[in-house]
A = this chain, B = another copy of it.
Amino acid sequence: MTISMGSYHHNVVLNAQAESKQPNGDGSKMKMYNSVGPNPRVVRMFLAEKAVDLPLEEVDIMAGVNRQADFLKINAAGQCPALELDDGSILCEITAICEYLEDRNPNPPLIGATAEEKAETRMWTRRIDLNICEPMGNGFRYSTGLKMFQDRVRCIPQAADELKATAQDGLRWLDGEMAGKTYVVGERFTLADILLFGFVDFFAGVDQPIDETLKNIHAWHGRVQARPSAEA
């Protein structure tokens, strides 16, 4: 396989708060195709919170390796990350990957320990995904990232500014909803926080800073940034 450029394995940062290091599911051969960008970071942070140690194989998305034939055999959608399971099958889409990792490694729960907890996390995760991450990511792809993305996906440059504004609308709404809460769903730290953090933290460093008036989001960002998993 000729996918990786400088392929190597490295370990994700471990969360000292997790009860014990989980050795990748008892001899599992799982590995993750990894790259720069917010999406793989969400999964790495999730793994770090779980203290799950997974080999990472690097894919050079800047050079477009993920859109070339060898990688498209792995993920026909041409996106990173992708999780290779024990049987060699490939799992894509970060929320589906995190759900699977939780199914395999239930503790500490980052989605939920009960049906009701899981439901609440999934509700907020999707709200964040659709109302913040998607317009934020597309706002970037259609403007600052246009040169990288214009030959990879359909780009809509005339929508970039309004998409960024839509993401800010979502953040402003969430800021109000988070009054008095420690994390997105309340006291539990969950996938919803990890997803939001992965995107907000990345794009704040590019072209979409968090508005100063969003005090609850700023305070929350500081709390998440302080977790060891934020280094993953």
Give the contacting residue for A100; candidates B96, B100, B119, B130; CB below 8 A. B119
Say how far A154's CB is from chain B's closest CB, in angstroms: 5
- A201 in contact (CB, < 8 A): no
Indicate how many identical chains form the complex: 2
- Of A91, A118, A123, A162, chain B has the most CB atoms within 10 Å of the CB of A123
Determine whether the beta carbon of A77 is less than 8 Å from that of B127. yes
Give the contacting residue for A123; candidates B92, B123, B127; CB below 8 A. B92
Question: In the complex, what residues of B have CB within 8 A of residue A151's CB?
Answer: none
Determine whether the beta carbon of B156 is less than 8 Å from that of A126. no
Determine whether the beta carbon of A116 is less than 8 Å from that of B177. no
Interface stretch of the complex, out of A10-18, A163-171, A205-213, A220-228: A163-171
Question: In the complex, what residues of B have CB within 8 A of residue A123's CB?
Answer: 91-93, 96
Which partner residue on chain B sits nearest A94 by CB separation?
Answer: B126
